[in-house]
Amino acid sequence: MKYLRIIARLDIKGDNLVKGVHLEGLRVLGKPEYFATNYFEESIDEIFFQDVVASLYQRNTILDVVSRTINKVSIPLIVGGGINKIDDITKLLKSGADRVAINSGAIKNPNLISEAANIFGSSTIVASIEAIKNKDGHHYAYYNNGREHSGFELVSWCQRLEKLGAGEICITSVDNDGTGNGFEIDLVKKINNIINVPIIIHGGCASANDIIEVSKYNIEGVVISSILHYGLIKEISSIENNSNYKEGNIVFLNDMRDYNNLNPINIKSLKNKLSEEIRLRH
């Protein structure tokens, strides 16, 4: 098993870290900078901040989150949400982002990818895809946090994004997001070896075994969230006053509900298990 980049995704709504299922039903989990700092200290490879309502509400508050985090971590930051023009990218890079993730903006204006790649370099541009499997058996690209159908079939859209100059492609399985059902292997098989730029996969991871399973395919990294957040949530909540959260659903925080079929794990334990798997395979 080759080394996989382990990337923590933090979905942001307002000032809060949130998490949902199928990108819906967002529940507040805490302040993102606390989680990001903890993941950095546990040696996460990268952190992916995604403003999940920026495109929908035509607002972008993630600059403040990045600014509060940048002095506490020294690992690559990917930032997405509400990126529709070159100026949006410039502001994010100045705030501390290393790369930007573009989804809705690329669907509405594919030339944004090529223009951004020419200005900032392909390595700075991550094309983000929210994939849903339709009744015809094909996966399609969606946007606005999985609410809007682009009409673009997944494989052909990936190939087009590569030609436009995207340096990396991140694919989220909306069907598996937040479910703890594991990565969507059917989706992974469809995009395996179809393009030359790195692909990272997100959505559904519930255990280290899910990462080991998906490592059999030609991907560069995995993006994980629930498996990390729910393992840390009680510790974070104990040092915060939940009444400070002014926006969003804090019922989960207040009730400390069960984690369904997730097996929360910290990053050090996860990397140790992956290293052991590599040793056994060789």
Give the residue numbers annotated as catalytic, written as ranges: 11, 130
Torsion region of 121: left, alpha or beta (phi above 0 gives left; psi -120 to 50 gives alpha): left
Cα angle vertex 161, ends 160, 164, to 5°?
Answer: 90
Beta bridge partners of 202: 172, 223
114 and 120 in contact (C-beta within 8 Å)?
no
Beta bridge partners of 102: 127
Of 52, 63, 45, 58, which is closest to residue 10 (Cα–Cα)?
Answer: 52
What tokens appear for 200 in the block?
Answer: 């990272």
**How far apart are alpha carbons 190 and 207 in whole angstroms?**
23
What tokens appear for 99 in the block?
Answer: 């790369």
How many other C-beta atoms can be found within 10 angstroms of the C-beta atom of residue 60?
A: 20
